[in-house]
């Protein structure tokens, strides 16, 4: 069995991560993701390729494929069951299964992470930030729960599994080449296209 560096990685690689698949798929989520990415990437141009960190079964990448049919898509995923399903969509050559901390993602026009940084051990965030920036030629889209100061909150009766902070601000502080282009909020009570109270930040490497 694979040994991971953090409890959070073990958590998502195991049964909880597998159970997550059933809760996060279907046509309504795909529709919401289409609306989300049409807004979040409205200011981005020339995106011919994308790599998603923590892609699960590819609900975000499926929306991007519909918006940009010729875009080359790649995914990283820690849960083996989710990665196998993702490979059926993207092809096995475009999927890497394992820890973000250990994998070497391809360099693409867009690096994407959505609802993943919030579940990572805060001690490893600098490493993940570096990998995100290294993986993008130009655009970086970070979509997570936002809080101006770091805070941990309970997640489905589990402690130390959900963290909120200013992820994008920390990325830009650590990597001054990343400049904010656009940002916004997607509300869970949106009557048409709900998301999970996600604040998104589009950055450009300059």
Contact at 8 Å (CB) between 67 and 35? no
In this prediction, residue 2 has a pLDDT band, given cuts at 50, 70 and 90, of: low
Over residues 157-181, mean pLDDT? 92
Q: Count of CB atoms within 10 A of residue 156's CB?
A: 10
CB atoms within 10 A of CB 164: 18
Structure confidence by residue, pLDDT tens digits, 91-101: 999 999 999 99
* Banded pLDDT at 17 (limits 50, 70, 90): low
**Which tokens sit at 137?**
């030629």
| Tens-digit pLDDT profile for residues 84-123 | 999 999 999 999 999 999 999 999 999 999 999 999 999 9
pTM score? 0.93
What fold does the segment set 7-205 form as a domain? Rossmann fold (3.40.50)
pLDDT category, 134, cuts 50, 70, 90? very high
Confidence of residue 77 (pLDDT cuts 50, 70, 90): very high
Residue 160 has pLDDT above 90, yes or no: no
Q: What value does the mean pLDDT take over residues 155-165?
A: 79
On the 0-12 / 13-18 / 19+ scale of CB atoms within 10 A, 1 is exposed
Q: How confident is the model at residue 10 (pLDDT cuts 50, 70, 90)?
A: confident
3-state secondary structure (DSSP) of residue 172 = helix
**Would you kindly state where each structural domain of the chain is located, as residue ranges?**
7-205
Q: What is the mean pLDDT of residues 36-53?
A: 98
- For residue 16, is pLDDT > 90? no
Cα–Cα distance, 125 to 121 (Å, whole number): 7
């Amino acid at each position: 069995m694979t040994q991971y560096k953090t409890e959070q990685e073990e958590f998502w690689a195991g049964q909880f991560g597998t159970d997550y698949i059933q809760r996060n798929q279907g046509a309504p989520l795909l529709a919401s993701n289409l609306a989300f990415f049409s807004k979040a990437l409205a200011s981005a141009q020339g995106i011919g390729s994308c790599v998603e960190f923590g892609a699960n079964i590819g609900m975000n990448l499926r929306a991007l494929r519909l918006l940009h049919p010729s875009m080359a898509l790649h995914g990283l995923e820690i849960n083996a069951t989710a990665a196998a399903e993702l490979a059926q969509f993207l092809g096995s050559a475009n999927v890497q299964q394992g820890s973000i901390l250990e994998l070497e993602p391809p360099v693409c026009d867009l690096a994407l992470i959505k609802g993943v940084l919030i579940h990572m051990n805060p001690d490893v965030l600098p490493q993940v930030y570096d990998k995100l920036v290294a993986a993008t030629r130009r655009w970086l889209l970070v979509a997570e729960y936002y809080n101006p100061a770091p805070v941990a909150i309970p997640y489905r009766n589990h402690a130390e599994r959900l963290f909120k902070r200013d992820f994008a601000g920390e990325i830009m502080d650590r990597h001054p080449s990343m400049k904010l282009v656009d940002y916004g909020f997607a509300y869970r009570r949106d009557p048409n296209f709900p998301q999970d109270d996600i604040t998104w930040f589009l950055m450009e490497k300059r």
